[in-house]
Structure 1
């Protein structure tokens, strides 16, 4: 008898053993997706991670039901990678599988219900039960979710249980086939007509002039077949007329399977020659790859890193290898897709969370096929794609915090996971950045990674000039024009008069970051989170950026009852409004998560700015990353202090990276650009280091502090967050856990302490940080931590608590 261990994509510990029926024994192997029963009659798609003949002890194994997707399978390397992610990031195997698989392949059973033959006593039923029963038909199964939708109820299962107990319902569990191939209808001749036969057909149709006209237009095209929508559009007729021609056996309809993936016409491939400096960098990368697994390409903004990436990709494709090109955010893919497709045509696949589920699933199937894409452009989740001959991974903007998954589990670092994936495939990794992360630069200093630098912009264009506007002094003299200093206003006016473009960076969404009482100073906070709510003027609502709850703005203060709430700290919506007021006739666009609610919107805003239809682009950190606009001469940073003064040991590093990146959008072609940074703290060391544009000095100065206080990259961190609705119970549990950890780990344990936001979604939070010095066994610390958490969870009084482990928190 054959058994299999299966990972089920649910937040449950471990794997589950099932019996393989004889009929499936030849088809079952490690890495295939199967349908298994789990918890009662529920059925789920699971991943076979082991095939064996060991009968489980202590319980009777259930029988595996069927294969789920014969075209999808995980290689041994792919399985090893998933296991590594789960082990390293202390995640449940089911959570990792949920992150890896498109939702369409994670089929779950759905409850179908029907009425039994029993006579129904309506006096025995509640009002809701009566409505539920009347919706159903005897002998016809109906999906429970359809009944819930029609009757507008949330938890129909309670009604089902009650009616089951009364003998009025019958239930079954079915698996829906979520992935369906896309089809199109095509029109063709029903048979081959010779000229004489065709003339007779036309003669007969003269009595039906609309059918005659449609057929004549079809003959005029000279085509033997045509897609149905185009046929009707060009033929100028209706589907009814077409049906009549098909019924007369003149034309025929045929359904064909088509791809949802973008099909790009094969065009002449355009690949620019590298400059002398780029060629030297390219050769240095190749040299380092002979002895190093990972190389950092540190190049100032607009130095031509992407062109080097393209030449490397071409080299690896020529070797028959696959390449994964990673970017931190979907927004960056819009411009880079165009550029890569001019070189690689339809050989490049795109993968990110903004794609429809069916398209993501189809790309997965293609990557498992015998004809996969040789190049995939994707965000952090693309590390979970199946690769057959992976040779190179490019991680662009490797420093970016978006590579770190924060919610939900698994909380993995996309850059680090990519490096491990490459190691398993014996592939190479190229990290690219103008401002590398401290962890990467530390590995350079230690000789672990190779290092190549580009210190000048392509075409010897000068780096932008940086000027600082002292807003504290301007406010004292009452010279501010709303959010704009006289310096920024003057430079904007001059640049716009020259016909050039401006980018304004404000790292806050909405119209106002918060509302504050003008009498007592209280801020209007979310009811569920310890955080102020953002005001959105266009929708006239307040919204919480953590839990998403919304409410109408209030006028009178809820704390003192006397003062009025005033808008404080402008967001992108307010900046956009001020630009329109200060510069009449200038076209302005906004790029933030509120405005960019679809890929089409991204595309539209970027295209308009590229073509000069928009003169000013206002945005959050989206505008700071990887975008290339040749006509931008000025970048304005509206409020730099909010980034520098953030309560996090990485705040200065992140602020420096962000300001350098957004500065790099200015003056990328032609004339030297200008950056105006508005600040009320001119003496801050970050601004002085930024002005020098010397990353090595910046790293040396901050790294010394990190080492003195034991922070990464000089140690490893594990964050343990505990959540509960009652703050007293939370403190008790957190102190208990911290004490148990200190018994073995001593001073490595810091806390418990209240994190940046002490309550989210009605749950209070406390955080314990474990610092593991170099040389100590990271795996042993994780094993001990896991053991202690398991002990707490088995104890009395644990109900209601949530424990969240975050390895290498970002």
Structure 2
């Protein structure tokens, strides 16, 4: 991490004639423009300008000024688009570091900081909402098939409305179904849908609670942790605290009272969560304690998002809650930044700039002299190792509130299950037995499977053909309720075949299982109990997560089935049984973090039970029951797992011991991408050899998912002891990494996904 004295602040002298401008392109370069006399008084750093660039008129950001003319003819700025800066000097320095560290353009970094709704100055006042007519659920499959023949996108919209109750915005329905407003109006004329207009401001009103809830009384362990945090807050450079507390140990209450302490000192707080839609309970608790809270996320409706951003910028907000991009909120005088569930990979941005919110949080805290708290029951091994080395202060909460015990975990060997029952059953006898007992006691069950859809493979019994996506060369998933095959990478849809496309046999078999198939099986086995499925298919409508979790909390639903979105942030005392349907889905991925993710997922989902006086039990089904990630998770032994996993990584120099950067090459031409990857790899190896082997190059090789969206993909990995070696080497091949001859190169520093 760079310190702030390594940055050069943009020169803001307004009596100069040349503006330094960056553009939203993957090129880390500043361009110089003349400032016409009529614009000189109106332009400051952080403002957008309209400029001529490469025979086009584009928008850039002014990042500074220059006194000395350059030895080439400079063009004039056409106009200044803002009356006030969209980004201040402090955030310009953050984006400058971001572009340097993550190998992207400075303009790309700045555009990541300023939300699109702020750049576009959205002023819409109304939104259109769609609701299915009362007879929509009665539409049979034949009627829908007839509509699909004439208007497939309209049929898709009806299928979505039939599956989900309540209203959905027309914009969101169009995004999901592909049916634009013209098609929706046709459905309205046929009486199949109801269209309503609503004031946008009414959709997300700011919530200020006059009678705030009081803080809870700390346990002794919580008080000790709070005292240590309080001591850090008094230091001029508080640094970073890793709050390692087991599930149910009261981390959230420590967050809340620390936030209260910071606000009492007239300073501000940023509270980051992995996914905003899945942490409604945490947000409700914060809003019940504090006024002047803003919630930022990409799904906010336009005008409200714009007003929230302005309220933050105008110092009307004390606490900003949001997902990873909220780390860029224009909050001033920050005293505390919290990353809840800091181990989650959603804190890593997968598009340029490919930043990690944890790194940006620590950088911002350095500028603001603020404290960073990284909280988790299963910390990332990077944070755990840095705490062990003394870079972070570590605070441990080893006990649950009220001395409640962690749930007992039982591992079911599915190999034995197959042998005993002579066939594979999705729900083991042991899990089914515990479910019957739990439901009979009027208690609730959570079932976890990290795979959505009905069946992940469509297979021919006669010739062995597997139906794959024509754009990705990856098996498609069958989604039964929508009656489609879907590629989970490029999102291409198709109608399932009635016979084998290869040998024309009718022996089409749907193999494997996803949450949809489990839902059908649970309904068949437990017909007298209500079940709700939570995955990205069933929870696409705005507010669906909150609606589902509220119904579950009230006891209206007895069984909650879902993917990893139910593995974190949920606190339901009446949940006494958690079933992990398959612990192997993540474990078998070709990724060096697969074991870590498996341990974290099992530990996190196990933590959803036993949080009340009734206790809890966890059943983990696996074909690899002896794997250390599963056995350590069953024993609730994080330290044991960390020691074992770090022992495997150290000799290979994988993070946290070494630094890793991945270069991915993409092209529609397989030979060209292979040739470019080999050329870059050979150049890198020659450079490394000349510089004394300070860097290790792995590859090139095809990525595990070799073709996505008609693009063939190869990659190589750079491993080193520090980032300086990697960055210095990448600078030497910067020209080679520019897109050329139909081949794109993507640099990912600290990659979290290796597929």
1:84 equivalent in structure 2? 97
2:67 paired with 1:67 = no
Partners in 2 of 1:258 and 1:551 — Cα distance?
38
2:732 equivalent in structure 1? 787
Partners in 2 of 1:784 and 1:376 — Cα distance?
38
TM-aligned CA deviation for residue 43 of structure 1:
4.3
Does the residue aligned with 1:641 lie in a helix, a strand or coil? coil
2:197 paired with 1:267 = no
2:413 equivalent in structure 1? 470
TM-aligned CA deviation for residue 455 of structure 1:
0.5
2:109 equivalent in structure 1? 96
Larger Rg: 1
Partners in 1 of 2:58 and 2:676 — Cα distance?
36
| Bigger mean CA deviation after superposition, 481-490 or 560-569 | 560-569
CA contact (8 A) 1:468 1:682 kept: yes
TM-aligned CA deviation for residue 532 of structure 1:
1.0
Question: What is the root-mean-square deviation of aligned Cα atoms in Å?
Answer: 2.3
Partners in 2 of 1:653 and 1:800 — Cα distance?
37
Partners in 2 of 1:772 and 1:389 — Cα distance?
36
* 1:293–1:471 distance in 2 versus 1, CA, 3 Å: same
Q: What TM-score results when the alignment is normalised by the length of structure 2? A: 0.84
Match among 392, 412, 422 for residue 365 of structure 2: 422
1:692 equivalent in structure 2? 635
1:803 equivalent in structure 2? 745
TM-aligned CA deviation for residue 85 of structure 1:
0.9
CA contact (8 A) 1:19 1:64 kept: no
Equivalent residues in 2 for 1:589-604, closer than 5 Å: 589-604=532-547
TM-aligned CA deviation for residue 750 of structure 1:
0.5
2:14 paired with 1:6 = no
Encode CA deviations 1:160-185: one digit per residue, 9 max, x unaligned.
Answer: xxxxxxxxxxxxxxxxxx4227599x
TM-aligned CA deviation for residue 418 of structure 1:
1.2
1:212 equivalent in structure 2? none
Match among 26, 39, 47 for residue 24 of structure 1: 39
2:711 paired with 1:763 = yes
Match among 301, 312, 315 for residue 367 of structure 1: 312
* 1:181–1:542 distance in 2 versus 1, CA, 3 Å: closer
TM-aligned CA deviation for residue 563 of structure 1:
6.6
Encode CA deviations 1:255-297: one digit per residue, 9 max, x unaligned.
Answer: 9999965233422333212222211111122335547500100
2:664 paired with 1:721 = yes
2:572 paired with 1:620 = no
Q: How many residues align?
A: 659
2:71 equivalent in structure 1? 57
Partners in 1 of 2:565 and 2:737 — Cα distance?
42
Partners in 1 of 2:741 and 2:123 — Cα distance?
42
Partners in 1 of 2:301 and 2:70 — Cα distance?
40
Encode CA deviations 1:129-184: one digit per residue, 9 max, x unaligned.
Answer: xxxxxxxxxxxxxxxxxxxxxxxxxxxxxxxxxxxxxxxxxxxxxxxxx4227599
TM-aligned CA deviation for residue 67 of structure 1:
3.4
2:302 paired with 1:357 = yes
Q: What TM-score results when the alignment is normalised by the length of structure 1? A: 0.78
Partners in 2 of 1:745 and 1:360 — Cα distance?
48
* 1:756–1:791 distance in 2 versus 1, CA, 3 Å: closer
Encode CA deviations 1:203-254: one digit per residue, 9 max, x unaligned.
Answer: xxxxxxxxxxxxxxxxxxxxxxxxxxxxxxxxxxxxxxxxxxxxxxxxxxxx
2:241 paired with 1:295 = yes
TM-aligned CA deviation for residue 5 of structure 1:
1.3
1:110 equivalent in structure 2? none
2:276 paired with 1:276 = no
Equivalent residues in 2 for 1:692-711, closer than 5 Å: 692-711=635-654
Equivalent residues in 2 for 1:576-587, closer than 5 Å: 576-587=519-530
Encode CA deviations 1:433-472: one digit per residue, 9 max, x unaligned.
Answer: 0111010011011111001000111111110110112222
TM-aligned CA deviation for residue 718 of structure 1:
0.6
TM-aligned CA deviation for residue 366 of structure 1:
1.6
Match among 376, 381, 385 for residue 442 of structure 1: 385
Partners in 1 of 2:91 and 2:547 — Cα distance?
37
TM-aligned CA deviation for residue 697 of structure 1:
1.3
TM-aligned CA deviation for residue 481 of structure 1:
8.3
| Bigger mean CA deviation after superposition, 437-446 or 639-648 | 639-648
* 1:518–1:257 distance in 2 versus 1, CA, 3 Å: closer
| Bigger mean CA deviation after superposition, 587-596 or 33-42 | 33-42
Equivalent residues in 2 for 1:152-301, closer than 5 Å: 178-180=121-123, 262-288=206-232, 290=235, 292-301=238-247
Does the residue aligned with 2:426 lie in a helix, a strand or coil? coil
* 1:444–1:542 distance in 2 versus 1, CA, 3 Å: same
* 1:256–1:435 distance in 2 versus 1, CA, 3 Å: closer
CA contact (8 A) 1:292 1:450 kept: no
2:133 equivalent in structure 1? none
2:398 paired with 1:383 = no
TM-aligned CA deviation for residue 711 of structure 1:
0.6
1:188 equivalent in structure 2? none
Match among 684, 691, 702 for residue 754 of structure 1: 702
| Bigger mean CA deviation after superposition, 451-460 or 284-293 | 284-293
CA contact (8 A) 1:639 1:679 kept: yes
2:456 equivalent in structure 1? 513
2:283 equivalent in structure 1? 337
Does the residue aligned with 1:785 lie in a helix, a strand or coil? helix
TM-aligned CA deviation for residue 642 of structure 1:
1.8
Does the residue aligned with 1:23 lie in a helix, a strand or coil? coil
TM-aligned CA deviation for residue 562 of structure 1:
4.0
Partners in 2 of 1:621 and 1:712 — Cα distance?
24
Partners in 2 of 1:783 and 1:362 — Cα distance?
42
2:170 equivalent in structure 1? none
CA contact (8 A) 1:528 1:547 kept: yes
* 1:496–1:480 distance in 2 versus 1, CA, 3 Å: farther
2:250 paired with 1:304 = yes
TM-aligned CA deviation for residue 41 of structure 1:
5.5
TM-aligned CA deviation for residue 32 of structure 1:
2.7
TM-aligned CA deviation for residue 34 of structure 1:
3.4
CA contact (8 A) 2:459 2:510 kept: yes
1:168 equivalent in structure 2? none
Match among 721, 737, 746 for residue 773 of structure 1: 721
1:738 equivalent in structure 2? 681
Gaps of 5+ in 1: 108-177, 185-254
* 1:373–1:26 distance in 2 versus 1, CA, 3 Å: same
* 1:616–1:761 distance in 2 versus 1, CA, 3 Å: same
* 1:268–1:19 distance in 2 versus 1, CA, 3 Å: same
* 1:260–1:557 distance in 2 versus 1, CA, 3 Å: closer
TM-aligned CA deviation for residue 616 of structure 1:
0.7
CA contact (8 A) 1:719 1:809 kept: yes
